[in-house]
Amino acid sequence: MCLVLVCGDQERELGRVQAPGFCPHCGGKVVAVDVESRWRLCFLAVCSNIKRKYHCTLCARRLVLYY
């Protein structure tokens, strides 16, 4: 039997840059935010992942980029 206790994850903002384009909902400016997330097992850092998230500055919606 394997018992895994995850004590939580932490997110830290690395940087913020204005992205090209406009929000399709309100027409506001779009900001690209680089976020580092870490999963922890009590005191050990298990993994680290860096993601880029897009947000609108006016309506604060999270935007999804489709290719």
Whether this model's pTM surpasses 0.85: no
Chain center to CA of 6: 20
- pLDDT confidence tier of residue 65, bands split at 50, 70 and 90: confident
Note the pLDDT tens digit of each residue in 14-47.
Answer: 999 999 989 999 999 999 999 998 877 776 767 7
Note the pLDDT tens digit of each residue in 45-64.
Answer: 677 889 999 999 999 899 98
Helix, strand and coil percent figures for the chain, each rounded to 5: 0, 65, 35
